[in-house]
Amino acid sequence: LVTASVDGGPPSSLDIDVAPAAPPTLLGCGSAPVVVQEGASTSIPLVFSGGVEDYPVMKLAWSSPSVVSILNGTDSLLSVATPTSLVLSSPASLRRMVASQLLVYKGAKRGTHAIRFELTGLTELNGTSLGMSEATCSVRVSPTNAKPSFLGDMFWKGDEDALISVRGIVVTDADADDVSLDLVASTGRLLLAAKP
């Protein structure tokens, strides 16, 4: 309600409806995929547009249990985070969480994964929705380069000055990379012969 008078005349009143501040709009994580190595973690660079700093309460939810919030124990967190969501006190808290790299993806399975995020503005904790936006982020988990390894017994014996047949050298590589093998004799000579 606004009351005003013009040039000392009688006051007049006008009711003005003020709409609540709209929540920020979630835009995604940028155009390029987020890249992380298998077994490692990286922050999720969520991007937002609009909204004000102090209102409304924000609920962020995601579709993958590989996304983890490490925001626990701060004043910005209004409820205990579930494995796939959290509720924050304001858009400013949400922006601080992202800027501080406290929302991370743990790369457990190699490949490209699409993760859907939903951002909802609420009047209060467990309150009415003021609007929701969603976006999908692409995360590429690249394999860790594991060293090749030998399988089987790597010890052979024989008589001095006699040929020793070396068989059963097996090399395995978890990444299925091409493997080259160098055989070196520390004493004596090493002869390679094709099987007849």
Question: In this structure, are residues 105 and 114 in contact, taking their beta carbons and an 8 Å threshold?
Answer: no
Kindly tell me if the per-residue pLDDT of 1 is higher than 70: no
Mean pLDDT of 45-56: 89
Peptide bond into 11 cis (omega under 30): no
Question: In this structure, are residues 43 and 35 in contact, taking their beta carbons and an 8 Å threshold?
Answer: no
Q: Select from 81, 67, 60 the least CA-distant residue to 114.
A: 67
User: Whole-prediction pTM value?
Assistant: 0.68
Specify which of 18-32, 35-49, 70-84, 176-190 reaches the highest per-range mean pLDDT: 35-49
Residue 109: CB partners within 8 Å, gap ≥ 6?
A: 38, 141
Rounded Cα gap, residues 194 and 76, in angstroms:
70
For the chain, the residue count is 196
Question: In this structure, are residues 126 and 159 in contact, taking their beta carbons and an 8 Å threshold?
Answer: no
> pLDDT of 52-88, one tens digit each?
888 889 999 999 999 988 876 565 777 766 889 999 9
Give the chain's mean pLDDT. 82
Q: How confident is the model at residue 27 (pLDDT cuts 50, 70, 90)?
A: very high
Question: In this structure, are residues 59 and 94 in contact, taking their beta carbons and an 8 Å threshold?
Answer: no
Element (H, E) at 112: strand 111-122
| pLDDT over 70, % of the chain | 84
Rounded Cα gap, residues 75 and 61, in angstroms:
19
CA angle, 87 as apex, 106 and 132 as ends, to 5°? 95
> pLDDT of 122-170, one tens digit each?
988 888 899 999 999 999 999 887 777 777 666 777 787 777 777 667 7
